[in-house]
Amino acid sequence: MTQKLPAAIEAERSILGGILLENAQFHEVAQVLKAEDFTLDSHRKIWLKMVELAAASSPIDIVTLVDSLERTNDLRRIGDVTYLSGLLDGIPDRPSLSHYSRMVKDASIRRALYFLTTALEQKILEPTENTAALIENAQANLVRIAKSRGLFLESIPIFEDSTTFERRSTGEIDWLVRDLIQRGANGLVIARPKAGKSACVADLAVALASGQDWFEFKVPQPVRVALVSREDYWSLTHSRIKRLRYTRMLLSQELDENLWVNARGATPKIMLDYPDDVAILIGNLKKQRTEFLILDVMRVLHGSEENDNTEMQKIINVLNHIAEEVGCSICLVHHSSKSEALSVTQNARGASAIFGWAEFAIGISVADEETWTRGFAAEVKVAMAPRPFCWRIVDTLGGGLRLDRVEYTPKGKKAQDHGSF
């Protein structure tokens, strides 16, 4: 049996016909209804034309509507002049449009709630869905529906008591990478060009997807990872992942469920300042139930001015939107500035909005070019930062690739603790 969605078709017809009879009522209705409140596409089109005519201070009647609809080739789609004339049939001399508007608005809200609860029901039945994220997304969507339908927002709760809030957590930090990356946290990997950041995040992606340690950081369990690798051509990204996987003794099929790649030259380009690209990205991430998104590298993922704080805040807002919609953490790979700031995050190139966004930051530096020794330093909001250390990319037997922590003492300095630089 097909589910019949809430609708008030006759009330919609009466509203449109009533405005044709008495234009003065348009403004009263317009304070209550928007185009999306109408059930039928033909009614939405007619309403939008009425809005245009009212904005131009033009009379709203059959003649002006027909002319306006013909100019956009919409007249035939709504049923021609006959349908417009039929809107006047059975309309009383002074129809109660305020009452009809409330009927249409109520049906519109109920439809929106139906679609929300249907989508929520499907997610609830997925055992992998995070319960807290389900609740937060449901609440956010309720607020969105209320805002779009012009409801009284003061009735929507945005606070919860401290006991309820405390029950959300077991008191344990949910680590994706222990002592470094908390579930739900967004952050940066910062380095100069050719410092090894792309190899570093490729290894992070493989480690997370397989549930294996990264350097000496524990990965408690496998994580569903999406790697957007747009700086290097796909063949280099492919080679890195294949060689890193080989060293970890993983079959390619073992990563199929948890690692997804978008690479330059192989898959469509993604731009964070293109709404259509962002919508496609979100759709794919949701389908893959992504928990951790790596974006490599920031400068090729947007066309905005990185030194402009206002423009960068718009990009950060897009990243936050992606994280909230998908329920994932985001790791943004970014270039460092030319200055040698003491703070890892302050080394990020461009406006302060970029490093102000990060809840964790990993800095990759060049400790020794001759031996290809790289430095690793981190800042973590939720815990004490791990001690800095050095690492190298090591070619293994059989063509594999491995990232190893190494002891390194800069020339002219005394030997220090393991991993210092």
Low-confidence ranges of the chain (pLDDT < 70): 1-3, 92-95, 129, 147-158, 169, 339-342, 411-421
Give the type of residue at 201.
Answer: V
pLDDT digits (tens, 9 = 90+) for 204-261: 999 999 999 999 999 999 999 999 999 999 999 999 999 999 999 998 788 988 999 9
E strand or H helix that includes residue 131: helix 131-148
pLDDT digits (tens, 9 = 90+) for 13-28: 999 999 998 888 898 8
The Cα–Cα gap between 146 and 133 comes to 20
Position 122 scores a pLDDT of: 81
Best CA proximity match to 294, nearest among 266, 271, 328, 269: 328
Q: Which two tokens stand for residue 301?
A: 């993922």
- Does pTM top 0.85 for this prediction? no
Q: Which two tokens stand for residue 270?
A: 């993604």
Position 342 scores a pLDDT of: 63
- Reading phi first (left if > 0) and then psi (alpha if -120 to 50, else beta), residue 138 is in alpha
Position 259 scores a pLDDT of: 96
Instruction: Name all domains of the chain by residue range, CATH numbers in brackets.
Output: 1-168 (1.10.860.10), 175-406 (3.40.50.300)
Q: Which two tokens stand for residue 112?
A: 């929106």
